[in-house]
Amino acid sequence: MHKDIYMALPNKSGPVSELDMVDDKKPIINPKTDIITAVTLMGLCVYLFFHALSLPRPDNTWRRAPGGMLLVLAVTLFFMALSLLISALKLYKINKTKDKNNTIEKQQKVKNTILTPFNIRQIIAIAITFFYVFIFLERMYFEFASILYLFAIIKIFWKEGTLLKILLISILTPIVFSIIFTVLFNQGLPGGSLLSDLIFLLSKGGA
């Protein structure tokens, strides 16, 4: 395959697939990330192993025990994680010998890869969404919660947008969505819909 394909995919050395959604912004060969991933997975496998063992075995056999498949998966995943760990440690060792930077520079490098502007913006986006879903939608109508969410997220990420434009998008979108889903599709909305409650009250009043 032509090398230009690889150039178009900065951090991949092979073709991506429809199912492959690896973030282009992070290098794939990152032994440190792999070590953390492998250790986390091994911890998960240990938990799953004991959970599978704790499940009842109606026939006193593993053949059709509810935890049987889980046990097999936990053990095989453990070995996969172990293989990842060994590979990552080998790569880490190679990288380390190549890396001649002093400790201060290394620490700075680590700090820079964690607190990049992209990562900070990403944490903000995730935090706002979590706030919206776990707090706002629990306490407010979908329309109000969504207006607040959209306003916050668009205001932060759309630097060129004027306040009027941001307000218009934030207010109109939840209202339009509410009309489409509650009136046209007769579909409930998370947090409840003010519009459908109003329609219900009006129809009751009319009756």
Least Å from the CB of residue 165 to another protein? 8
Stretch touching another protein by CB under 8 A, among 104-112, 169-177, 196-204: 169-177
Binding mask 113-132 for another protein (x = CB under 8 A): -----x--xx-xxx--xx--
Helix (H, G, I), strand (E, B) or coil at 108: helix
Tell me the H-state helices in 55-116.
68-98, 103-114
For position 188 contacting another protein by CB under 8 A, the verdict is: yes
Nearest to 154 by CA among 131, 124, 175: 124
Binding residues for another protein restricted to 66-105, rule: CB under 8 A? 66-70, 73-74, 76-77, 80-81, 83-84, 87, 90-91, 94
Among 10, 17, 100, 103, binds another protein (CB under 8 A): 17
DSSP state of 26: S
Buried b (16+ CB within 10 A) or exposed e, 60-96: eeeeebebeebbeebeebbeebeebbeebeebeeeee
Which CB sits closer to another protein, 53 or 105? Answer: 53
Stretch touching another protein by CB under 8 A, among 3-11, 98-106, 197-205: 3-11
For position 175 contacting another protein by CB under 8 A, the verdict is: no
Assign 3-class secondary structure to 124-164.
Answer: HHHHHHHHHHHHHHHHCCHHHHHHHHHHHHHHHHCCCCCHH
For position 63 contacting another protein by CB under 8 A, the verdict is: yes
Stretch touching another protein by CB under 8 A, among 48-56, 103-111, 195-203: 48-56
For position 167 contacting another protein by CB under 8 A, the verdict is: no
Residue 59 near residue 33, CB atoms below 8 Å = no
Which CB sits closer to another protein, 141 or 146? Answer: 146
Return the structure tokens found at 85.
Answer: 């760990």
Which CB sits closer to another protein, 1 or 104? Answer: 1
Alpha-carbon distance of 193 to 87, in angstroms, equals: 52
Binding mask 135-164 for another protein (x = CB under 8 A): --xx-------x--xx--xx--xx-xx---
For position 26 contacting another protein by CB under 8 A, the verdict is: yes
Residue 121 near residue 157, CB atoms below 8 Å = yes
